[in-house]
Amino acid sequence: MIRPLQSNTQKRLILGFCTLISIFLLFGVYTLYDIHRISQLTRIIYNHPLAVSNAALQANISIVKMHRSMKDVVLFHTLSKIQQSIEIVNDEEKRVYRQLDIVKDNILGDEGKILENEARKLFDAWRLIRNEVIGLVDNDQRENAANITIGKGASHVALLEIKMFGLLNYAKGKASEFNNKTEKIVSVSNVVGIFLLLLGILVSILVVFTTLKRTSLIEKKLIESETQYRRLFETANDGILLFEKSKGAVFVKQVVA
């Protein structure tokens, strides 16, 4: 009777510890998975919203510099200064296209791609206005060049600024979306972590309680068995043979008179 109880207790202990190990392994795997997801979102935030918003801001700064330099092209009368202003315009134009390429490579979503395409086409159209103004200056038609610069040129630059801010706001919206996802993952991870921790504590308590209960039961059975055998020896009138089993054979171990 004692040996089956001991075997049953060992099985319960093994099962309990296996359950505990499984719970903590599950907790570890889930934590690593959440860390991986948060890392991915952080990488996306850096590659998309931050890169796009920074590129849109840099492009907008270059556009403003280009427009200001175009005014210098119209106002200056010295050929060297006019050429210097044109070179500034050309350099800033290259910067704008580089920033638009960054936006194109990193922006997410169909709406974002449409915004980038519209901004690029709008900037391509501004180049035509720039070339027209420079051509008028070369032909000494400064008044017409000035009218275009402060007229449709300024209006076009304003449209470009609006489009760049549209890209910036779109990137900020995506950043907020990813931040909300990250916060949600962290919140769910905390809830699951607390649940698994409480479950582990509960299983530990059950294992300890079951172990103590089974140990108490075994101890009780041992005491009852000892009492039973003592009473048997004390009240026996005949001799008692104690047998010992060894390698399949049974031997008489002791004769109690």
**pTM of the predicted model over 0.95:** no
- Tell me, what's the pLDDT at 98? 92
Nearest to 156, CA basis, from 242, 85, 66? 66
pLDDT exceeds 50 at position 250:
no
In this predicted model, which residue has the larger pLDDT, 11 or 162? 162
The answer to whether domain 2-203 has CATH 1.10.760 is no
Looking at residue 255, what is its pLDDT?
45
Maximum mean pLDDT: which of 24-33, 57-66, 226-235: 57-66
pLDDT above 70 coverage of the chain, percent: 81
Average model confidence (pLDDT) across the chain: 78
The larger pLDDT score, comparing residue 94 to residue 23, is at 94
Q: Report phi then psi at 183, rounded to 5.
A: -65, -40
Most confident range (mean pLDDT) of 60-69, 172-181, 239-248 is 60-69
Residue 252: per-residue pLDDT: 45
Contact 49, 174 (CB under 8 A): yes
Res. 152: pLDDT tops 70: yes
Q: Which residue has the higher pLDDT, 245 or 75?
A: 75
Identify the helix (H) or strand (E) that includes residue 254: strand 249-256
Question: Rounded to whole angstroms, what are the CA distances from 221 to 106, 184, 212, 224?
Answer: 74, 55, 14, 5
Per-residue pLDDT at 10: 66
Q: What is the pLDDT of residue 236?
A: 60
Q: Does residue 177 have a pLDDT over 50?
A: yes
Handedness of CA 58, 115, 49, 164 (dihedral sign): positive
| pLDDT tens digits, one per residue of 19-57 | 777 777 877 777 777 777 777 767 666 667 788 888 888
178-226 pLDDT per residue, tens: 777 777 777 777 787 788 777 777 877 777 777 777 777 777 777 777 7
Q: pLDDT value at position 101?
A: 92
CB-count burial class (<10 Å; 0-12, 13-18, 19+) for 78: exposed
Give the per-residue pLDDT at 127: 85
